[in-house]
Amino acid sequence: MPSEAENVDGSEETKELLGMVQKLKLSSELKPDVRNVFQRSGDDKAMELLLNMFSCFAKELQLAVVKETITLLTGKKCDEALLRKIADEDHAVVDTFVKFMKHDQPPDLDWFVTDVAEYPRYQVRPFDHSSMNGRTNKKSEFTYKAKVVRFIDPSRIYITLIDKKKEPIGLLKNHSIFWFPAIRYLREEMPCLVYDKNENLYLRAKLKSFCSNGLGLFVLVDEEKSLLCPISLAYLIPKVIFAWPVKVFQVRLSFIRPIYKYLWPTEVVREIQRFVTVDKLEVAFTDVAVEDNTGSVYLFSRQKNLFDLFIKTDGLMLNVEEMISVWERGFFDHLVPSYTNNFQRMHNAMLSRNYRRRDREMGKFDYEFKTKARLGGFTTAVSLDMIYYFARMHHQTVVAFFSRYTRLPNSNEWYVRYLRLTDNIEFVCRMCEREKICFDGIAELSYITIRREL
């Protein structure tokens, strides 16, 4: 019987056992390490998922484009050696290209924004925010530099804020990043990128509606204008790019109001449009509606004073309640420094509590209006003239507080007259609306019904 030493050194059983161990070593070198595939780090898994997603949009891409796109989406620098290794497992790396194998799985759209509600907005503050937080009352701390991108009427103005540094959205100009064609996944009201061939830029937009011949109507959210272009030029937009805040706001001018809904005196619309269509404006938000990204603004221009324009423009209806509300918040002398004392008197008039018998007055006015209409006392033109007449009287009543040449009225009587004119205008306009009278039937009135939300 052989000794134990002989079994270890040279027996046939030992040689056979050593041969089996050698074969196992060779086979382990040929087969992939299962643990290395299924126990990768989070970065490796993200890279693998992204490569599979790329395969749903392209047959092949340059390795440099894949690398930079992964860096953009993950926010971490992509290692080229690791990228080649992972891409070779399910796809193929040939020279400087990655050739993708098709997958049956649809792409993971969690990387993209699919709801326009996710548009981030630039955060603006009302004019008295700095004073409430104990900061110094400097004009530069509550105003924003802006320009008007679209004007409809004084209650519907689209402005875009201008950075002092004027930093461009660099990601939209980086053409070495892969943009994901949206033609198979696009739907109405969905955010997307639109390629502008003339500017050679990718612009942020949302699809308003599909049109014929492969076209789509898009709204460019950073410029507040429409664009008709092929759907094939629309691309899904990664969430990381949507992190850039949109600086376009729909605003209305503070301290003034329309005659009724979208009805304005024509001269008011013209004068306000001339004032706002300049290259540089400074805006102060008197109110900010966070829910719908709108606000009320007061404008500053080097050439003119906006409140002087309010006083001089005949027929413009000033909103006394809003002016006093802003005045009570303090810091008002920075907005309209020339008229601070006048607002003090207005405030005292509103606090007088001198209410009029509104129901009796409006009942009497209703009776007179119906009687004249029944007896043919006025035509359609005359009724519209009545609206414009009341608007002019309303304007003259309010600006009497600001005129240097008009004797200041009794505060109590003045406020009663202001309220009466306000009610009369609203009543006549409702009567005209009920009778289906066209509001802009005379040249002095403008009624612009166009309305499109951002």
pLDDT at 395: 94
Closest CA to 391 of 311, 316, 310, 307: 316
Torsion of Cα atoms, 118 then 122 then 127 then 128, to 10°: 70
Question: What is the DSSP-derived secondary structure letter of residue 126?
Answer: B
* Distance between CA atoms of residues 219 and 226, nearest Å: 5
- On whether the CB atoms of residues 230 and 273 are closer than 8 A, the answer is no
pLDDT at 357: 46
pLDDT at 333: 76
pTM of the model: 0.74
In this structure, the strands spanning 180-181 and 256-257 are: unpaired
Q: Name the pLDDT band for 360 (thresholds 50, 70, 90).
A: low
* Distance between CA atoms of residues 352 and 414, nearest Å: 11
Q: What are phi and psi of 323, to 5 degrees?
A: -60, -45
Per-residue pLDDT tens digits for 224-265 = 888 899 999 999 988 887 777 888 899 999 999 999 999 999
Give, for 220, the enclosing helix (H) or strand (E): strand 215-220
Give me the sign of the Cα torsion angle 355, 357, 359, 362. Answer: negative
- On whether the CB atoms of residues 63 and 98 are closer than 8 A, the answer is yes
Beta-bridge mates of residue 282: 145, 300
Q: What are phi and psi of 9, to 5 degrees?
A: -85, -45
Per-residue pLDDT tens digits for 391-434 = 999 999 898 877 765 565 666 678 878 888 888 898 888 888 88
Distances from the Cα of 215 to the Cα of 156, 207, 230, 236, angstroms? 29, 11, 4, 16
pLDDT at 367: 60
Query: Residue 58, exposed/middle/buried by CB under 10 A (0-12, 13-18, 19+)?
Result: middle
Structure tokens at 410: 């009794």
Tell me what the mean pLDDT of segment 166-186 comes to. 71
Structure tokens at 420: 């009466």
pLDDT at 340: 75
